[in-house]
Structures are given as C-alpha cells and as structure tokens.
Amino acid sequence: MTGADAPLLDVADLRVEFDTYGGTVQAVRGVSFSVAAGKTLAIVGESGCGKSVTVQALMGLVPMPPGRITAGSARLRGHEILGTTMLEGRDFRGNEIGMIFQDPMSALNPTMTIGRQIAETLEVHRGWSRARAFARAVELLDMVRIPEAAARARQYPFEFSGGMLQRAMIAMAIACEPAILIADEPTTALDVTIQAQVLDLMADLQNEKSMAIVLITHDLGVVARMADDVAVMYAGQIVEKGSVDDIFYRPAHPYTVGLRAAMPTNADHADHVLRPIPGSPPDLFSPPAGCAYAARCPHAMNICADHDPPPFLPDESGHFGRCWLHHESVAGGLERLRAGAATERSAHE
Amino acid sequence: MLRYTIRRLVQGVITVWFIATATFLAMHMVPGDPLSGEKATSEQIRANLEAKYGLNQPIGTQYLIYLGNIAKGDLGISFTQKNREVNDIIREHFPVSAALGILAITFAAIGGILLGALTALYRNKWPDAAIMLLVILGISVPSFVFAAFSQLAIVKLNALLGFSLLPVAGWGTVSHMIVPSLVLGLGTMAYLTRLMRSSMLEIVNADYVRTAHAKGLPPTRVFSRHQLRNAILPVVTVLGPAIAAITTGSFVIELVFAIPGLGRYFVQAVQQLDYTVIMGTTVFYGAFLVLMVIIVDLLYGFVDPRVRVD
C-alpha cells in the first residue's frame, strides 16, 4: 500500500445524538465511509436520514448542546479530526475541507461584499493582506464564471441571483484549494437549468484541482451525473454503498430499489405514475431493533424485525448492502431483491 | 443619495412647521398669558406691553409674524426674563444638555450592544440571568430614583475615601458629567440591551454564521464581522428615537444634579407661560430631533447595504 492509495478522509462508526424535549434522537447510527482524492462520493437519502448531520459533525458544525458525537473517528490524512477543528495547529475548515450549503441566499453574510467574504478565508488561512486576498477573490469569481468579476466582487449578496450566489459560495469554498469539497444539497434551492451549470462547474473544478467531492443530495439525477461512489443512507445508517453503476444497475438493498422506482422517468414505455415508497421512516427516538427499513420493505422476513442486518458483500468490489436477503440461507434473495427493480412492484402482492 | 437627502430634509422642514403650528395653537388655547402674573399691572402698561410683543394683533397676523421670525432664525425675546433673547438662552444652555445627552447616548449604545451580545452568547447561563435582572430594573425604575440613589452613593463614597472623588451635583468639569450621563442613559441602555439580545439570538444560528464557521474563521472574527454586524441593525434603527427620549428626558436629571441645561428653562417657561421661550425651545427641540432621525436614517444605509439608496 502506498500513501496515494490511503483514503484522504476515513470516517468510521460515526454516531451523533441530539437531546430534545421529546428524548434523545439518534440521528447518525454508526456511519463509515472513506473519500478518495479526486473522486466524488454521493450520500443519498430522504430528509431526516442523517446525511447532513454526518458531514456537519465532521466539520464541527453540529451545535453542542443539544448535539453530541457519541462514538466514531474521522481521519483526514491519518489525523483524527472528530471533536476538534484543528489539524496540525490550524483550523482545517476552509483550508483542507471546503463546504457549500443548500440555500445560497441565506448562507452568505448580507452586510459584507462577496469579494470580502471570499478574501476573508485567504486572510485567515494564508495570512494574506486584504488587498492581495481581494485580488485573488476576483480571480476566483472569474474562475467560477461570474462575468465582470472585479465589479461583482464589490457587490453584496442581495445584488446576486441564486445561481450566481451558489457559484460565489463555491469560489469561497475552494479559495484555499482544499483537498475535499463538501456540498450539502448544493442545487436543491436552484432551478433546473441553473442546477446543471453549478454541477458542471463543480465537475470542472474537480478535474482541474483533483479535489474530492462529498455530495449530499436526495436527487438521483444529480447522483448519476456526478458520483463515482454512492452511499445510500436510511434512518441514520448507510444501508448500501457501492460504485454509481452498482447502485443503479446492481442494487443490493430494497431501499435503493425503492428509491430508483420512485424516480420519475420520461421513457416512452413508462406509465408516468409516481411510485412513492409507502410508509415513513422509523422514529429515531427509539430505532427498531432490527432493520430500520423492515416496516416499509416488500421483502421483509421474520428475522428483519429483530436483527439488524450486517453489511453483506454481493461481490468483491467493496459494494455492500445491509439486507438479510443476501444471507446464504435465503434462496435466490438477490434475484428477488433486484426483481423489484425491474418489474413494477404492486402493493397487494 | 443626494436626492434622497434633499427629500428627507424637505420632509423634515414640513415636520418642523407642523410642530411650530401645533405649539403656537396650543399656546394660545391655554387660558392666561405671560403678562397676567402676580404683579398687578395697570391697563396702560398692559396695553403697552401687548403692543410691544404684538399680542394685540389678530391671531392670524401673530402666526404669520411668528413663522416669519422662525424662518429668519429669530425666536424672539423672553417675556419674563429681562432682555434675554431665546436664541441666547439656547446658545448658552443647549451645549450643556447636548454634552450630557451625547455622553448618555454613547454610554447607552455601547453598553446596550455589548451587554445584549453578552446575554445572547451566554443564553440561559448566569451572566444572562444577572444582566437581564438589571435590565428589568433599568426599564422599570424611573430615572429620578436612580439619580437620588447615585447621589447618596457618591456622598457615602466620598466620606469613605476621605476626599471628594466625584461631585454630587453641579456642572463644569468632566467629573461632573459622569454620573448624570450614566443615570440619564440607563433606561435607554436597558431597552437597547433587550433589543440587542433578541436580535443576536435570532442570528446566532443563521446560515451565514454557520458558513463563517465552516470557513474556519476564529470565533472572535465570526462574532465581530458576522454576528455583531448583522445583529446591530435593529439597534441602529431605534437610535434616532432613543436620542429623542434622552434629550427630552434630561430635564429631571438636570434638576436633580443642578445642571444648567436647556430642559430646566423649558419647564420653567411652561410654568410662566413665557410664549416665546416655550415656542422657541419646542421648535428647536423638534428641529433637533427631526435632524437626528434623518442622520440616523442616512447612516443606516452605511450599516445595511440593502437599504442604501442611490
């Protein structure tokens, strides 16, 4: 193993809880993944599955209290970063890991010019003078394809459109050329044509800088376009992880199959009926003892209710699914699971 | 910006005209006049005096003369004080009130902003509880009570020290200004603290504050550049009316601390129905407050770029 093969960021068994008036919510329940340089990892899942909390915990952005990281480790180039924001005496945020957020309209300071907000990162991490950092901020705005960058840098967020703000956010996040860019639903608040521009920009910057991207989304279209690897999260756990082809063509968890089926399609043979997954996610105040998806799963067996499935490897590539259907005693389990993806699932079956 | 400023100034002049008119009408509706004092004056003297001050003219004519004089900047001569022009009274005593007021508002603004931010940062911990208790005291206890207690405290302190650290009353040196301006600014400071606290709590978890943390900025910088700067906006908005409250409220403090400010003359004039002094000081105060509000509004554009006008 050479140093280049070691993962850039290695997260193991991360657990995050929140104290609320109703009790303790187990928002993240043992999440492990690794991020390789230059690759894009997409974390997919529905609202409340813990995907945002996972990355916010890494970035030290979980408000504590009420939040609490109860277990796990996160190693950036071998250095533990969980529970601290310091790496070798410096704040790694903005420097080693850049982050962009869902709603660019509210994620920028309304009383500071765009250029100053970008320059600030360089001033803090590189110790540059105001003038030098501002000049670089203009270059960065130009790099993210904002026209008349020099004039735009002197404007305030309210003078920008949503798509331009998100590009400015990206410029801010990559100012110090971080090794990893975390994008928390970067296109959710933007309209569709702008979404494509922002995603293309991120992909281009990734190629230029060989930067790793952790992309959080609930949009499988975005996943198909951007991701190398995909982690599917459900109820605070990663239920399936694999390459983007694995997830789309060789799914190993009924939830992934359900997500695929729920994705609207425009194909000729389709009947254009939305197929939601019936039911709702479990209450994370008291997560079920068995598989969290069992209550909504069309293939649920007796064991599913009481025993949490371990990750099963359907092949040797590192692709896994947490589903009892992979157990050797279940005859033809994988075929049953994937059959759900090909044929339309009917509720009364 | 220039057009906006001019428009605001024209509006201000109209406001002052309304104030002047209302004062004039109110004055003439009050029974009695400045000449019907305790000293009996003969019919002849009275008629002469009325003629001298123009009180024998029809009210419409009086109003026009009055407006004309204000426009010329002449506020007239006092009825009850010998040969004193209202302009002289203002020139002599307003600087005292202004110094007191500026000191009080500075103290109130700085104290309110810092204490408010502090309570928000230590929300539900003991500094928050302690400061908020003081704030409730500051809002509910009238300033003359504080004034009396502070004088008592000064006396005790000076006795304890064996020499006079702070004067109990009077005017002239910086040490005379400290305690009265603190007492005068206290109520406003309490009000601004509360405002700042709620405004700070609103933005403590704002998305852009999270962004600032995610950029790896040190907490002090997040606080000063991102939290304080935005939380201060509502406080700046009320600064205009706060200046009004402090300047007009200074009368009691001036009386308790024996400060020769304008507030004392104003009240004295009302008691003696000294027409020109009442109208002169009212119009002057009105113009001053209107100007303050305009200045605060213009400054607001520099604090919040979203309302900057071009």
pLDDT of B162 reads 82
* The pLDDT of residue A347: 37
Give the residues across from B85 on adjacent strands: B77
Instruction: Give contacts of A99 with chain B, Cβ < 8 Å.
Output: 214
Give B205's contacts in chain A (Cβ within 8 Å): 63
Fill in the amino acid letter for B214: A
Asked if A120 has any chain B CB less than 8 Å from its own CB, the reply is: yes
Tell me, what DSSP letter sits at residue B70?
A: H
Structure confidence at residue B274 (pLDDT) = 80
Residues of A in Cβ contact (< 8 Å) with B214: 59, 61, 93-94, 99, 101
The model's pTM: 0.77
Mutate to test the interface with B, among A102, A109, A214 (most CBs of B within 10 A): A109
Residue A29 dihedral angles phi and psi, to the nearest 5°? -120, 70
Output the tens digit of pLDDT for each of chain A's 349 residues.
Answer: 444 457 888 888 899 988 888 888 888 888 888 888 888 999 998 888 888 889 988 888 888 778 888 888 888 888 888 877 777 777 888 888 899 988 888 999 998 999 999 999 999 888 889 999 999 999 989 888 888 989 999 999 999 988 889 889 988 988 888 889 999 988 887 788 888 888 888 888 888 888 999 999 988 888 988 899 999 998 888 989 988 988 888 888 888 888 888 887 777 666 777 888 888 888 888 888 888 888 888 888 888 888 888 888 777 778 888 888 888 777 777 777 777 554 444 433 3
Closest CA to A233 of A249, A221, A218: A218
Q: Let me know: does A42 contact A222? Beta carbons within 8 Å.
A: yes
Q: How many CB pairs under 8 A join A and B?
A: 77
B38 has a pLDDT exceeding 70:
no
Q: Which CATH superfamily is domain A3-227 in?
A: P-loop containing nucleotide triphosphate hydrolases (3.40.50.300)
The answer to whether the beta carbons of residues B175 and B94 sit under 8 Å apart is: no
Q: Which residue in the set B216, B218, B230 is minimally distant from A111, CB to CB?
A: B230
Measured distance CA(B60)–CA(B52) in Å, rounded:
17
With cut-offs at 50, 70 and 90, classify the pLDDT of residue B125.
confident
| Section B220-227 average pLDDT | 88
Q: Which of A3-7, B18-22, B61-65, B265-269 has the lowest mean pLDDT?
A: A3-7
What count of Cα atoms within 13 Å lies in the side-chain half-sphere of residue A145?
12
pLDDT at site B17: 92
Of A109, A124, A158, Cβ closest to residue B230 = A109
In terms of DSSP bridges, do strands A180-184 and A97-100 run parallel, antiparallel, or are they unpaired? parallel
- Backbone torsion region of residue A78, taken as left when φ is above 0, otherwise alpha when ψ lies between -120 and 50, otherwise beta: left
**Sheet strands side by side (includes A9-20):** A23-35, A9-20, A67-76, A79-80
pLDDT digits (tens, 9 = 90+) for B103-113: 999 999 999 99
Q: A40 - beta bridge partners?
A: A213
Per CB-CB distance under 8 Å, the chain B contacts of A61 are 210, 213-214
pLDDT, residue B14, reads 93
Q: What's residue A232's pLDDT? A: 92
The residue of chain A nearest to residue B217, with distances taken between CA atoms, is A124
- With an 8 Å Cβ cutoff, is A91 touching chain B? yes
Asked if A95 is an interface residue toward chain B (Cβ–Cβ < 8 A), one would say yes
What is the rounded CA–CA span in Å between residue B269 and residue A249? 92
Can you tell me the distance from the alpha carbon of B184 to that of B105, in angstroms, rounded to the nearest whole number? 9
Q: Does A110 touch chain B (CB under 8 A)?
A: yes
As a three-state string, the secondary structure of chain A is CCHHHCCCEEEEEEEEEEEECCEEEEEEEEEEEEECCCCEEEEECCCCCCHHHHHHHHCCCCCCCCEEEEEEEEEECCEECCCCCEECCEECECCCEEEECCCHHHHCCCCCCHHHHHHHHHHHHHCCCHHHHHHHHHHHHHHCCCCCHHHHCCCCHHHCCHHHHHHHHHHHHCCCCCCEEEEECCCCCCCHHHHHHHHHHHHHHHHHHCCEEEEEECCHHHHHHHCCEEEEEECCEEEEEEEHHHHHHCCCCHHHHHHHHHCCCCCCCCCCCCCCCCCCCCCCCCCCCCCCCHHHCCCCCHHHHHCCCCCECCCCCCCEECCHHHCCCCCCHHHHHHHHHHCCCCCCC
pLDDT band at B272 (very low <50, low <70, confident <90, very high): confident
Using the beta-carbon criterion (under 8 Å), do A110 and B216 form an inter-chain contact?
A: no
Provide, as residue numbers in chain B, all residues whose Cβ is less than 8 Å from the Cβ of A63. 205
Of A59, A111, A125, the CB nearest to B214: A59
Query: What domains appear along chain B, each with residue ranges and CATH number?
Result: 86-307 (1.10.3720.10)
Residues in chain B with CB shorter than 8 Å from the CB of A110 are: 208, 230, 304-306
Residues of chain B found within 8 Å of residue A103, distances taken between Cβ atoms: 207
Q: Which residue is closest to B230 within chain A, CA to CA?
A: A111
Measured CA to CA, the distance from residue A185 to residue A102 in angstroms comes to: 5
DSSP string, B95-126: HHHHHHHHHHHHHHHHHHHHHHHHHHHTTTSH
- Domains of chain A by residue range: 3-227, 233-342
Put simply, whether A59 touches B (Cβ < 8 Å) is yes
- What was the pLDDT predicted at A343? 45
Q: Do B211 and A110 touch (CB under 8 A)?
A: no
Instruction: Supply φ then ψ for residue A68, to 5 degrees.
Output: -160, 130
- Give the model's pLDDT for residue B285: 86
pLDDT reported for residue B76 = 79
Taking alpha carbons only, the member of A133, A99, A97, A106 closest to residue A117 is A133
Q: Quick one: DSSP state of residue B290? A: H
CB-CB neighbors (< 8 A) of A172 in chain B = 211, 215
For B46, the token pair is: 């009275």
A111/B216 touch (CB, cutoff 8 Å), yes or no: no
Mean of pLDDT over chain B: 84
Q: How far is B244 from chain A (nearest CA, A)?
A: 27
Share of chain B above pLDDT 90, in %: 14
Query: How far, in Å, are B132, B175, B184, B200 from residue B242 at the CA level?
Result: 20, 24, 12, 19
- For residue A99, the distance in angstroms to the closest alpha carbon of chain B comes to 6
Ramachandran angles phi, psi of A173, nearest 5°: -70, -30
Q: Write the burial class of residue B140 (CB in 10 Å: 0-12 exposed, 13-18 middle, 19+ buried).
A: exposed
Whose tokens are 């002289």? That residue is B88
Contact call for B229 and A109, based on CB within 8 A: yes
Q: Could you tell me which chain A residue has the CA closest to the CA of B232?
A: A111
**Which of A105-109, B33-37, B41-45 is predicted with the least confidence, judged by mean pLDDT?**
B33-37
Residue B77 three-state SS: strand
Q: Which residue has the tokens 């609207």?
A: A264
Judged by a CB distance cut-off of 8 A, whether residue A106 touches chain B is: yes
The Cα B229–Cα A218 span in angstroms is 35
pLDDT tens, B78-101? 777 777 888 888 888 888 888 888
Tell me the nearest-neighbour CA distance from B103 into chain A, angstroms: 28
Rounded Cα gap, residues B182 and B180, in angstroms? 5
What ranges make up the beta strands (E) of B68-204?
none
Looking at beta carbons, which residues of chain A come within 8 Å of B203?
Answer: none
Do A13 and A31 meet the contact criterion of CB atoms below 8 Å apart? yes
Pairing of strands A320-321, A180-184: unpaired
Tell me the β-bridge partners of A240.
A232, A321
Q: pLDDT tens digit string along B232-250?
A: 888 888 888 788 778 777 8
